[in-house]
Amino acid sequence: MLLYLIRRGASLFIVLFGLAILIFVIARIVPGDPARIALGPLATAEQVTDLRAEMGLDEPFFIQLGTYLSGLAQGDLGKSLLTSRPVMDDILGALPATFELVVFTLVIQIVISIPLGILAAVYRNTWVDNVIRVVSLVGIVTPGFVLAILLQLSAAMYFGFFPITGRIDPSIMFDADITGLLLVDGLIKGRPDVVGDALRHLFLPAIALAAGGIGQVVRITRSAMIEVASRDFIEASRAYGIPERVVRFRYMLRVAAVAPLTILGLEFASLIGNAFIVEFVFSWPGIASYGVRTILQKDLNAVIGVVLVSGVFFVVANLTIDIILGLLDPRHRLREGKSK
């Protein structure tokens, strides 16, 4: 297991290194002068030249790349043109909001999709199965930003209990200075009012983000459960008189969980990217909305930083899922080892 983790960690480090170089190259060849955009159309040529020199944009490409990689190795992502602050500080300030939203969304996906997938498999080809499949298909094909706007309009017109913007009510005085997560810090500091208000603000954007993933996981869980149900060891378990509940949840689900867990891991990482528009619609102060603003301003350092953070999420999610799958099914580790 240790060698397996070392191999996976080394390969993922190479992926991150390649991503860093790729994003830097793309950011440099995109049309538009960041210095001119930052200073505006009224700035003089001398001012633009001075800012380009300050940003290092007047240096040869490979010198810029070397400086960037050297700073990256030290945790320095440069200075943001949008906020005039270090990009790392901006990302660390915005990341807890997005992380809390993504984790809450993932919890909703797991709580809803796995039971619905099992239910659809148990009542295969009945009206229950048909209804679940139709609902899951609607969730898959409906864009997140469309659902976000519909939920926001519905809440504004009919469901006033759920706020439609922000992360917490401005009238509540609270500083999440421990972890940056309102739910966690509210529990630690004994503030149930903060926890309750944070949950109300989380609900609508989390539902908008979760819908597509719920539909995918429901369909994959259903297919995996049906496929496992036809295997010999399941028939043998039933023949020995083992209760059906135990067969389904102890034997079938453990084997069938490999596919939905893989999708959930990738979904956790992709939620960072999918959160861009949803955060923008709900005025959620997270890294995704920060990324939208930096893209519009062609803030190269900030754009690169946001993309790298998204890449780290993908890498960590993949590694975590590999570990979980290796624990659930040792054959996964053996296959990985042989492929190396």
CATH of the domain at 330: 1.10.3720.10
Highest mean pLDDT of the ranges 40-44, 109-113, 176-180, 317-321 = 109-113
Residue 129 sits in the same domain as residue 63: no
Residue 9 shares a structural domain with residue 102: no
* Same domain, residue pair 112 and 209: yes
Whole-number mean pLDDT of the chain? 80
Residue 165: pLDDT over 60: yes
Answer yes or no: do 200 and 52 share one domain: no
168 burial (CB, 10 Å; 0-12 / 13-18 / 19+) is buried
Q: Of 16, 41, 73, which residue sits at a domain end?
A: 73
Q: How deeply is 141 buried, as exposed, middle or buried, from its count of CB atoms within 10 A (0-12, 13-18, 19+)?
A: exposed
- Does 280 lie in the same domain as 206? yes
Domain range enclosing 242:
95-339
- The pLDDT value given to residue 333: 54
Q: What is the DSSP letter of 79?
A: B
pLDDT at 222: 87
Q: Kindly tell me the sign of the dihedral angle through the C-alpha atoms of 169, 95, 322, 19.
A: positive
Q: Let me know if residue 87 belongs to a domain.
A: no
Asked whether residue 86 is assigned to any structural domain, the reply reads no
225 domain residue, yes or no: yes
Name 86's bridge partners.
79
What is the distance between the alpha carbons of residues 298 and 82, in angstroms, rounded to a whole number?
9
In a domain, 88, yes or no: no
Q: Is residue 89 part of a domain?
A: no
Helix extents (H) in 79-164: 87-122, 127-141, 144-157
Mean pLDDT, range 11-34, rounded to an integer: 77
Per the CB < 8 A criterion, the answer to whether 97 and 284 are in contact is yes
27 touches 300 (CB < 8 A): yes
Taking residue 267's Cβ as centre, other Cβ atoms within 10 Å add up to 25
CA distance 154 to 177: 33
Q: Does residue 21 share a domain with residue 124? A: no
> Both 39 and 186 in a single domain?
no
Q: How many domains does one find in the chain?
A: 2
Is 70 exceeded by the pLDDT of residue 337?
Answer: no
- The verdict on 236 and 266 lying in the same domain is yes
Give dist(CA 309, CA 23) in Å, integer.
12
pLDDT in the model for residue 323: 74
Q: What is the pLDDT of residues 35-85, one digit of tens each?
A: 776 676 777 778 778 877 877 777 787 888 888 888 787 877 878 877 778
Is 304 inside any structural domain? Answer: yes
Name the burial class of residue 227, with classes exposed (0-12), middle (13-18) and buried (19+) by CB atoms within 10 angstroms of its CB.
Answer: middle
Q: Look at 92-101, 164-173, 293-302 and tell me which has the smallest mean pLDDT.
A: 293-302
Residues 37 and 126 in one domain: no
- With respect to residue 27, please indicate whether it lies within any of the assigned structural domains: yes
- pLDDT greater at residue 117 or residue 3: 117
> At 265, is the pLDDT very low, low, confident or very high (cuts 50, 70, 90)?
confident
For residue 211, pLDDT beyond 70: yes
Question: Domain check: are 221 and 293 in the same one?
Answer: yes
**Does residue 141 share a domain with residue 53?**
no
Does position 332 have pLDDT exceeding 60, yes or no? no
Q: Label residue 76 left, alpha or beta by phi (over 0 means left) and psi (-120 to 50 means alpha).
A: beta
* The pLDDT value given to residue 106: 87
pLDDT at 306: 84
* Domain assignment of residue 82, yes or no: no
> What global pTM score does this model have?
0.79
Q: Is 44 helix (H, G, I), strand (E, B) or coil?
A: coil
* Same structural domain, 235 and 327: yes
